[in-house]
Structure 1
Amino acid sequence: MTGVKTIAIIGAGPVGLAAAAHALARGLLPVVLEAGPEAAHAIRQWQHVQLFSPWKYNIDTAAARLLSATGWTPPAPEVYPTGRELIEAYLAPLATRTALREVVHTSHRVTAISRVGFDKAKSKGRAAVPFEVRYRNGDGEAAMQADAVIDVSGTWFSPNPAGSNGLPARGEIDHRNHIAYAMPDVLNAQRGRYAGRTVAVLGSGHSAIGTLMELAALAEEAQGTQAIWLLRGDDPTRAFGGGSADQLAARGELGMAFAALVRSGRIRLETGFHVTQIAGQDGQLQVVASSGRTVSTDELIVATGFRPDLSLLSELRVRLDPAIEAPVALAPLIDPNEHSCGTVRPHGARELAQADEPGLYLAGMKSYGRAPTFLMMTGYEQVRSITADIAGDKAAAARVELQLPETGVCTRGGLESIAALSGCCGGPAPSRVDSCCADDAKAKAAGRAGCGCS
């Protein structure tokens, strides 16, 4: 194809908007297709949560240049925004007040991607034809053609189920009206659902911990509220952090406060709880573990992480790691069995490109598959490199431009925390921390707590 290259960007979250900003700076034509009614639709689901990383780590450089042209004043760099503040002060103006307003199309849900005239099985000449991107909007089904596709659709709407084997627990789907995922706003927007009720929370990351602490606070105000922590592991102290020895002071404080709640009995603890079945009895959920142990609860919150929805890529030749579900070149770099937040190095087009499908890139949280160690600034670096690659600037694509402080930037999220949109190890978390260690192994060898992400 000749002329200006068209890039279909799937998703108008922080990384998708950054991809569009970098594409415009490269003289490319981005078309951003967002399933939700507004940009940053996924973040709006957790806008009550405060990020761990301050503003200086949450703003993309190309996006900032577009905003600066409108007279935008950047937020104070050391302040830690909530999801709502991230939208109001940065993402919404970026999508609606800059040149991106002409290329962001909301309520456009991508349903499938293929090659024009080629199914998955046909090889000869495949790379020479454009992509066909199918989507649905208010007018029904439509399609566009693109020279390249960057899938930054995220994982927020594909939460992991309660079943410890990766499948929904038996009965989980049948009782979904009393099951929530990730980190619902139990103190405010969804207070009526949880006040005065028994609520079980499954998970060991800081989405689970934050929700449990909010439920404990709710119990102070609403008589009859009871929080139950369902922990798959046997050692709850791993979730308490390093206490006063933790390099992350706020994380240590949170861990100590949470430990005190558990030890006081205000949060009931059930360890070694591998959920296999969810049933209903006398108006309550009966959550059953593999051991046969049963917990009765009015509501269940599942905070066990996320996975990518790969259905829209089914007619493309995509190579993904079978375990992590990340691009095969990236998976060894982010495998949570081997890496924590501090040991994932910056990467770009080379690791994210699909060798059998030139022009296709997975980026953002979706590129990490089931690994929870994603960092928002890493996503910005990904799309900077990818757009350079699409524009033919191979030197810029290969160059690493990500600059972090010596210790890196971490959130308090653990291996089962909520959608990773800022900071490592799972993204937004209930309260702020400062920066974390760049190398867990070195920190622990020195007798310190490390990142707490491994």
Structure 2
Amino acid sequence: MANAMAKANPVHDLVVVGAGPYGLSVAAHAAAHGLDPVTFGRPMESWHAMPSGMYLKSEPWASHLSDPAGAYGLDAYAAGQGVRAEHGVPLPVSFFAGYGDWFARQAVPAVDERLITSVAPAPEGFLLTAEDGAPLRARTVALAVGVLPFLEVPGPLRHLPRRYATHSSHHGELGGFAGRDVTVVGAGQAALETAALLAEAGAAAVRIVARADRLNWNTLPPALDRGPWPTLRAPHTGLGCGWRNKLYADTPGVFRRLPSATRARLFDSALGPAGAWWLRERFGAVTDVRLGHRITAAEVTGDDRVRLDVEGPGGAGVLETDHVVAATGFVPSLDRAGVLDPALRSALRTSGPIGAPVTGALFESSWPGLFLAGLLTAPSYGPAMRFVFGAGYTAGRLVRGVRLRLRAGGRGGAVGRPRSGGRPAPVGA
């Protein structure tokens, strides 16, 4: 009986939680190293849910998912679709989502579309629970849950029902706002593109409210081949041109070794809010832009609208709107990683003012066997981890950490148990 139960519920070497760009890249590297990973999640789900009029902000050559041989890049998919993935030509988000689906079929051996609702410590590593209640056991776990668990909504809006206030990531097509008055909060790409799409979808009025005192716009990227001197002055990187961006793009491991306070400051300031160069003309349809303003209070009025109290350069004021969309980004606080069992979450080491998890040299958390990928690692590894581009740096190193952890645990030892008398020690620390 015991043998039958063990066969029905085997202990997997690696379970990848999340099937976005980072999760699929980790799974591809793990499969190439013979680990037979099991990946849970609906491939590219959040990307498929974006409005159809959205485009990638990153260049095609900086938007590859990662496999060890580099055989399944975005350029390979585009060629198979008869599409030219060119520098300086934005690609639709829907095309990128299709690329992720293709990558999963080519490079990832097993994707289970159930969501994982809980990851808890267990004697042999971890006990995971799927959305249908089924238990799963794993020696190691790679948590690659994307950005949606970490969405940020300004405090004055958090009490409003979703009928009146949402985050930009909540929306697919925006045609439902036709004829309505919508206020978008934020000054980054998500805010500016959402506002432009709302105007194109027939919203009666669209306005931007932002704390920033100006809108920043990226410029048209220079040609890839532009001669030695211009290249030396401002080299191309997957995060934009310039030496500072090159350091962020090429040396996340160096970023991790900076003092905690320096990392926190750079995480807050590096690659700040800016709109893509190709969006600027479309954004011209949005004429009500209120910069240097912050919302101090919000309430639903008797006529079914939202009253916003705002403070700006001219003092306090009031505006009314039908709906508020907060395009205010994501905060990778460990407290928001609700998939982690509370006892496990509280045992992890954190740093910085937002309580981000400490991540080791091979992307292992302070709990042995629990590895992190994507936005949760950005406070440790820098701005590259906020973008698809960072998957290339992450996947191979994380899988190396998994392999070391499995060897350390003997593929059957207590991988997930911390050392007695102190914090767990990540491999490769």
Name the stretch that deviates more: 247-256 or 306-315: 247-256
Trace 1:427-446 onto structure 2 (pairs within 5 A).
none
Relative distance call for 1:131 and 1:47 in structure 2 (3 A) is same
Residue 91, structure 1, aligned to residue 100, structure 2: yes
Q: Deviations over 1:174-201 (max 9, x none)?
A: 4321223126768xx321x222221111
Does structure 2 conserve the Cα–Cα contact (< 8 Å) formed by 1:279 and 1:286? yes
- Alignment match of 1:321 (pick from 351, 355, 362): 351
Does structure 1 conserve the Cα–Cα contact (< 8 Å) formed by 2:67 and 2:107? no
Partner of 1:440: none
Question: 2:379 & 2:218 partners in 1: Cα distance?
Answer: 28
The percentage of aligned residue pairs carrying the same residue is 22
- Alignment match of 1:76 (pick from 76, 84, 88): 84
Q: Deviations over 1:299-356 (max 9, x none)?
A: 1111001134322222223222242443335xxxxxxxxxxxxxxxxxxx6162223x
Q: Deviations over 1:31-64 (max 9, x none)?
A: 1111xxx311111121522102233222234177
Question: 2:43 & 2:324 partners in 1: Cα distance?
Answer: 29
Partner of 2:47: 43
Q: Deviations over 1:219-246 (max 9, x none)?
A: xxx4x7111211123x1x2x14377999
Partner of 2:326: 302
- Alignment match of 2:146 (pick from 154, 158, 162): 154
SS at the partner of 1:114? strand
Question: 1:93 & 1:13 partners in 2: Cα distance?
Answer: 12
Name the stretch that deviates more: 16-25 or 375-384: 375-384
The residue identity in structure 2 corresponding to 1:384 is: G
SS at the partner of 1:295? strand
- Alignment match of 1:360 (pick from 370, 376, 381): 370
SS at the partner of 2:299? strand
Moved segments of 4+, more than 6 Å = 242-250, 369-372
Does structure 2 conserve the Cα–Cα contact (< 8 Å) formed by 1:199 and 1:300? yes
Q: CA deviation at 1:208?
A: 1.0
Partner of 2:400: 388
Question: 1:91 & 1:22 partners in 2: Cα distance?
Answer: 15
Residue 375, structure 1, aligned to residue 387, structure 2: yes
Does structure 2 conserve the Cα–Cα contact (< 8 Å) formed by 1:47 and 1:82? no
Does structure 2 conserve the Cα–Cα contact (< 8 Å) formed by 1:273 and 1:289? yes
The residue identity in structure 1 corresponding to 2:210 is: L
SS at the partner of 2:130? strand
Question: 2:16 & 2:58 partners in 1: Cα distance?
Answer: 25
The residue identity in structure 1 corresponding to 2:37 is: P
SS at the partner of 1:383? helix
Partner of 1:177: 163
Partner of 2:177: 194
Partner of 1:10: 17
Q: Deviations over 1:225-279 (max 9, x none)?
A: 111211123x1x2x14377999989945645775x666xxx32426322333333
Question: 1:225 & 1:47 partners in 2: Cα distance?
Answer: 19
Question: 1:209 & 1:382 partners in 2: Cα distance?
Answer: 30
Does structure 2 conserve the Cα–Cα contact (< 8 Å) formed by 1:353 and 1:362? yes
The residue identity in structure 1 corresponding to 2:120 is: S
Paired residue total: 329
Partner of 2:130: 135
Relative distance call for 1:252 and 1:56 in structure 2 (3 A) is closer
Does structure 2 conserve the Cα–Cα contact (< 8 Å) formed by 1:7 and 1:150? yes
The residue identity in structure 2 corresponding to 1:318 is: L
Q: Give the structure-2-normalised TM-score.
A: 0.66
Question: 1:244 & 1:130 partners in 2: Cα distance?
Answer: 49
Partner of 1:144: 136
Q: Deviations over 1:56-81 (max 9, x none)?
A: 2222341776759xx96556342532
Q: CA deviation at 1:82?
A: 1.7
The residue identity in structure 2 corresponding to 1:152 is: A
Relative distance call for 1:378 and 1:4 in structure 2 (3 A) is same
Question: 1:5 & 1:392 partners in 2: Cα distance?
Answer: 15
Q: CA deviation at 1:377?
A: 2.1
Partner of 2:65: 60
Does structure 1 conserve the Cα–Cα contact (< 8 Å) formed by 2:165 and 2:324? yes
Question: 2:181 & 2:305 partners in 1: Cα distance?
Answer: 9
Residue 111, structure 1, aligned to residue 120, structure 2: no
Does structure 1 conserve the Cα–Cα contact (< 8 Å) formed by 2:127 and 2:138? yes
Relative distance call for 1:59 and 1:254 in structure 2 (3 A) is closer
SS at the partner of 1:294? strand
Gaps of 5+ in 1: 118-128, 164-168, 330-348, 395-454
Question: 1:386 & 1:242 partners in 2: Cα distance?
Answer: 32
Does structure 2 conserve the Cα–Cα contact (< 8 Å) formed by 1:240 and 1:256? no
Q: CA deviation at 1:99?
A: 5.9
- Alignment match of 1:214 (pick from 175, 197, 222): 197
Query: In angstroms, what is the RMSD of aligned CA positions?
Result: 3.6
Does structure 2 conserve the Cα–Cα contact (< 8 Å) formed by 1:17 and 1:63? no
Relative distance call for 1:311 and 1:4 in structure 2 (3 A) is closer
Q: CA deviation at 1:104?
A: 0.6
Q: CA deviation at 1:292?
A: 5.2
Relative distance call for 1:51 and 1:268 in structure 2 (3 A) is closer
The residue identity in structure 2 corresponding to 1:227 is: V
Q: Give the structure-1-normalised TM-score.
A: 0.63
Relative distance call for 1:368 and 1:47 in structure 2 (3 A) is farther
